[in-house]
Amino acid sequence: MSTLVFLEHHGNELQKGSLGVLAKAQALGGDIAAVVLGSGVEALAADAGRYGASTVYVADDQKLEAPLPQPRVDAIAQLVRDKGIETVLFAQSILSADIAAALAARLEAGLNWQLVDIAAKDGQVVGKQSALGDSVLVDVGWTSTPRLALFRAGVADPVETGGSASVEKIEVAFEEHSLAAEMLEQAHEESSGPSIEDAAVIVAGGRGLGAPEGFGMIEELAKALGGAVAATRAVVDAGWYPYAAQVGQTGKNVSPGLYVACGISGAIQHKVGMQNSKTIVAINKDPNAPIFEFADFGVVGDLHQIVPKLTELVRARRG
Amino acid sequence: MKIAVCVKQVPDAAVHKRIDSGTKRLDRSGEGALNPVDANAVEEALRIKEAAGEGEVVVVSMGPEKALDSLRKALAMGADRALLVSDSAAAGSDLVATSYALAKALERESPDLVLFGQQASDSDGAVLWAAVAERLRRPMISQAAELKLEGGQITGKRQTEFGYDVIRATLPAVVAVADSINDPRYPSLKGIMGAKKKQQDVVSLADLGVEAERAGEQGSRTEVLALSDPPPRGDTQKIEDDGSGAEKIVEFLAGKRLL
C-alpha cells in the first residue's frame, strides 16, 4: 500500500489540516509519502518528516508559486504514475478540492469527499463519509486505483512522530491548459489579534446582529470569557468585520472548547468551519435555525437582550 | 459570446433528504428545485450577455427528465435554451462518470465560457467544475465573487480561506461562482410564460457518443458500501428565552466547567 498526502502551505507554514490528514494516513499502513508544491519550499518539506511522512516529494518551481490548482494537478498526476501511488489524500480547502477533482478526471480515479475517517480492511480501503447534514454516515469505497479522498476540514490534529523524511526533488512537465490561468493579485489580510484558530473560546456574530455596531457586544462577551471574536461570511462580505475573523468554508476552521454563536443561522458553509468545536452555544431569534440542530445549548430569543446580560453575569462570576 | 451554465436539480429545501437503503442513492422522488447557487450562475451569465449586448446563454444539466422543471426556472430568468442529458444508464454516476458525460455535452456546444454554481446542496460536493475543466482542458477559476470579461480574457476574484485572489484566465474557461457574486433576479410573469416556448432538448448518452461502460455505476470509480447512523452528538437542549436565557447559559457553562 503506498499513500501520498498533499501538504498545503500558506506563506511559510504547512497547513494544520493537511498535517492532520498525514496523521490519519498512518491507519492505512505501508509507505506514507507527502508532497509539497511551490516556490522556495524545500525547508517546509523537511518539516513534514516530523509529522509522519517517510518520503517528501518536492517540486520547487516558479510556476507553482501562486496557489492555483491546475499546475499542481500536473505535478501530482506525474508522481502517481512514476511512483505507482495507490491512494492520494487531501484536507478539504478551496485549493485542494479543485486539485483533487481535476486529478480525478485526469487519472480516471474515484474521488470520495467529506471523509471523517479512513481504514484498510483485508486490503480494501474504506472511507467514512458524513452526509446529508451529518444525518447519515456512509461507508464509501473505490473500485480501482488510484483512490482519491478529500477529508473534511479539521477532522484530525497533526501528530508529531519525531521522525525525519527523505526529501526527493521532482521536475514537473506542465500541460498547456494548466498554465492558462495566472494570479494577478493576492489580497490577504493579516489578523491583528491572536489567531482564532488557536483560541480556546470563540464568540461569533452573524447577520442577526442587525448592524456592524452589534460586534461591540460580541467583543465585550469575548473579552469577559477570555476568548476571540469570529464572524460569518455574510457579515464579512457586508464589511462588518475583517476577513481574518471569518469562519467557514471560505474562512478559518476552528475547534475551540467553547463556541458561542450569536445571530448565526448555521448554514452549511459556516458549519463546516466550526462543527468540531467541543461545546456549542447558540443564541438566535429563529427557532427553526439549523444551528439548533447541532448546538449543545440553544436559546431562542433576542440576542440584543441576552448577550449584554450574559457578559455581565460572566464578569460577575469571574470577579 | 456563448455561455453555458451547468445546473443541477436538487431536492427542494422543504423535502427531508434521505438515502434509499436499497439503491444506496439519494432519494430524488420528492419535489425538486434548482440548486440555489446555480441561480447565481444563471444570473451572472445573463448579466455578461446583457453587458455585451449580444450572445447566447444555454443551460445544461444531467438528470431525470423531471429536471426540465428546474431548467425552466433558468429559462424564465432569461436563459435562451436548455440542454438536458437524460438517460437511465446514467443513474448512479459518480464524479468520473458525470464529468465525462457533461464534458461531452459541453464539447458539442463549444461555449466561450462555462459557468457553474459553487456547491450542490444535496451532495455537499464542490468538485464537478474542476473535473469538467480538466476534461475540456481549459483553465478554471473557482469561488468567484466577481467576474470581469475583457479582450478574450476573464478575470475573477476568488474567495479563499485567507482573503481574495485575483485570477485571470484566457477564454474559453470554466468558472464556478460563489453565491456572494450577485442577487439572482426573480422570473417575471412574462418570463415564466415565455419559458415554455423556449427550445428544450433532451439527449441520451448515445446521442453524445458516451460509451455505455463509461456511464452510471459501470463508469464510476467509487461505490457506496454501507449506511449507518452517525454517533450521537450528546444531548442538544433548546430553550425559549423568558428573560432568564442569560442565566440559563451561565448555568449550562458552569455545569460543563467552562467558566
Question: Quick one: average pLDDT of B47-69?
Answer: 95
B residues 88-107 near A, CB within 8 Å? 94-96, 99-100
Q: Does the bond joining B172 to the residue before it have cis omega, within 30 degrees of 0? A: yes
Asked if the Cβ–Cβ distance from B159 to A250 is below 8 Å, we say yes
Contact B238, A298 (CB under 8 A): yes
A108 contact residues in B (CB cutoff 8 A): 96, 221
| pTM of the complete model beyond 0.90 | no
Q: Which of A102, A187, A279 sits opposite B134 (nearest CB)?
A: A102
pLDDT in tens, B209-218: 999 999 999 9
- Searching chain A, which residue's CA lies closest to the CA of residue B131? A102
Q: For residues A226 and B30, which has the higher predicted lDDT (pLDDT)?
A: A226
Say which range, A191-195, A261-265, B45-49, B130-134, has the weakest mean pLDDT: A191-195
Single out the residue of A154, A161, A122, A127 nearest to residue A142, CA to CA: A127
pLDDT in tens, B186-226: 999 999 999 999 999 999 999 999 999 999 999 999 999 99
A263 contact residues in B (CB cutoff 8 A): none
- Flag whether residue A267 sits within 8 Å of chain B, measured between CB atoms: no
Question: Quick one: average pLDDT of B73-99?
Answer: 96
What per-residue confidence (pLDDT) applies to A136?
83
Q: Is A223 left (phi over 0), alpha (psi -120 to 50) or beta?
A: alpha
pLDDT in tens, A182-229: 999 997 765 555 578 888 999 999 999 999 999 999 999 999 999 999
What per-residue confidence (pLDDT) applies to A219?
95
What per-residue confidence (pLDDT) applies to B255?
92
Q: Which of B96, B122, B162 sits opposite A110 (nearest CB)?
A: B96
Asked if the Cβ–Cβ distance from A141 to B170 is below 8 Å, we say no
CA dihedral over A256, A261, A262, A267, signed as positive or negative: positive
Give the separation between CA B73 and CA B12, rounded to whole angstroms. 13
Give the separation between CA A307 and CA A262, rounded to whole angstroms. 8
How much of chain B, in percent, has pLDDT values that exceed 70?
98
Neighbours of A213 (CB within 10 A): 9
- Flag whether residue A59 sits within 8 Å of chain B, measured between CB atoms: no
Q: What does the mean pLDDT of chain B come to?
A: 92
Give residue B80's pLDDT band: very low, low, confident or very high (50, 70, 90).
very high
What per-residue confidence (pLDDT) applies to A193?
57
What per-residue confidence (pLDDT) applies to B129?
96
- Flag whether residue B159 sits within 8 Å of chain A, measured between CB atoms: yes
Give residue B45's pLDDT band: very low, low, confident or very high (50, 70, 90).
very high
- Flag whether residue B233 sits within 8 Å of chain A, measured between CB atoms: yes
What per-residue confidence (pLDDT) applies to A189?
66
The 10 Å CB-count burial string (b at 16+, else e) for A269-284 is bbbbbbbbbebbbbbb
- Flag whether residue B208 sits within 8 Å of chain A, measured between CB atoms: no
A141 contact residues in B (CB cutoff 8 A): 222-225
What ipTM was assigned to the predicted interfaces of this complex?
0.91
Single out the residue of A24, A34, A255 nearest to residue A128, CA to CA: A24
Q: In 3-state terms, what secondary structure has residue B254? A: helix
A279 contact residues in B (CB cutoff 8 A): 256, 258
**Residues of chain A predicted below pLDDT 50:** none
- Searching chain A, which residue's CA lies closest to the CA of residue B235? A296
Contact A102, A71 (CB under 8 A): no
A134 contact residues in B (CB cutoff 8 A): 230
What per-residue confidence (pLDDT) applies to A191?
53
